[in-house]
Every structure is written in C-alpha cells, then in structure tokens.
Amino acid sequence: MQYPTSLANIACLLLLCLALPLQAQQYEQVGDYQVHYSAVSTSFLSADVAAEHGIQRSPAMALVNVSVLEALEDGTMRAVNAPVSGKVGTVGDGSPSPLSFRSLRTGDSVSQVAVFRIIEDEPMRFDLEVRHDRNQAPAKVGFIQRFTIDR
C-alpha cells in the first residue's frame, strides 16, 4: 500500500528539515518572525524519502532548509509559507551559484529546500532572501558552513 509509506516519508523528511534548525538553534529574529535555517548532506536522508521528493542522495550533495515561524499575540508560533531565494559559494567566491528553492508542506508545517553540490572542506557562504511578510522587504540571512564528504 503506497499511500501510508508516502505519507510516512513526507513526514520523516519534514521532521528532519524542521528539527535540524530547531535543534541547532540556527535562526534569525526578524520582528515577530523567526527565520530558521540549516544545511545538511543529502546522504542523511533515507533512500525512500530522497526518491519520493526527487532529491539526489549523495555524500557530495547537501540540502539547505529554511522555515519561518511567526510569533502570535497569544504567545504561540505559526509556520509561514515564506518564499526563499539565494546563492551559495565558497567564501570570497565572486560568482556564487543560485539556489533553486521549492516548498515542502505537510499539515501546518512548511519548509523551503534547495539542493546544492558540496565543495569539500571549504567554508561555504549562503546568502538568502526570505520573503517572510509580503508587505515588507525580504529578510537577508547569511551564514557560513563547512562540509566534508564522507566516502
């Protein structure tokens, strides 16, 4: 029966994408919004989840995940569908590569993900624009991360 397996795979991927930035506490506060972000090797995804979402699973590929939460007046947080654009390259690279983001949604959770090629043992710089509120300019989020390729 494919449906339960498919649903389980989507839930697993979203939990991975949402849990990693929350666990590492990598986020930027922008007004009432928290922009959470993380980047991990796609080899951490199960083969089923990667195939289900058309993600190349490889030690040489990584996935950047961005999710946005809005603080509500009652003190709770709500997931926001926030389009993301951005680029990745090595530190000092004059021509970083564009990232192609797409939405992953299940229930009330939404995340933007993009896959890119790892440049081994080089600090990689991510420059992102997150449209957290359509009435405001996009939030600019940048971070640097180093990856190693597990062979």
So what's the pLDDT on residue 106? 67
Is 62 within the bounds of a domain? yes
Range of the domain at 18: 2-146
So what's the pLDDT on residue 138? 96
So what's the pLDDT on residue 130? 97
So what's the pLDDT on residue 3? 41
So what's the pLDDT on residue 94? 81
Is 50 within the bounds of a domain? yes
Q: The pTM is what?
A: 0.79
Q: What does the DSSP 8-state code read for residue 51?
A: H
Is 39 within the bounds of a domain? yes
Residue 9 makes CB contacts below 8 A (sequence gap 6+) with: 46, 48, 49, 52, 53
Per-residue pLDDT of the chain (151 residues), as tens digits, is 444 444 444 444 444 544 443 445 599 999 999 999 999 999 988 898 888 778 889 999 999 999 999 999 999 999 999 999 999 999 988 889 999 999 987 678 899 999 999 988 889 999 999 999 989 999 999 999 999 887 6
User: What CATH number does the domain containing 104 carry?
Assistant: 2.60.40.3340
Helix, strand, coil share (%) of the chain residues, nearest 5: 20, 45, 35
Is 41 within the bounds of a domain? yes
So what's the pLDDT on residue 25? 59
Determine contact, residues 20/116, Cβ cutoff 8 Å.
no
Is 132 within the bounds of a domain? yes
- Residue 71's CB: how many other CB atoms inside 10 A? 14
Is 12 within the bounds of a domain? yes
So what's the pLDDT on residue 120? 83
Is 11 within the bounds of a domain? yes
Q: How far apart are CA 13 and CA 115, in angstroms?
A: 14
Q: How many domains does the chain have?
A: 1
C-alpha dihedral (81, 108, 63, 150), degrees to nearest 10: 160
Q: How far apart are CA 78 and CA 7, in angstroms?
A: 22
Is 151 within the bounds of a domain? no
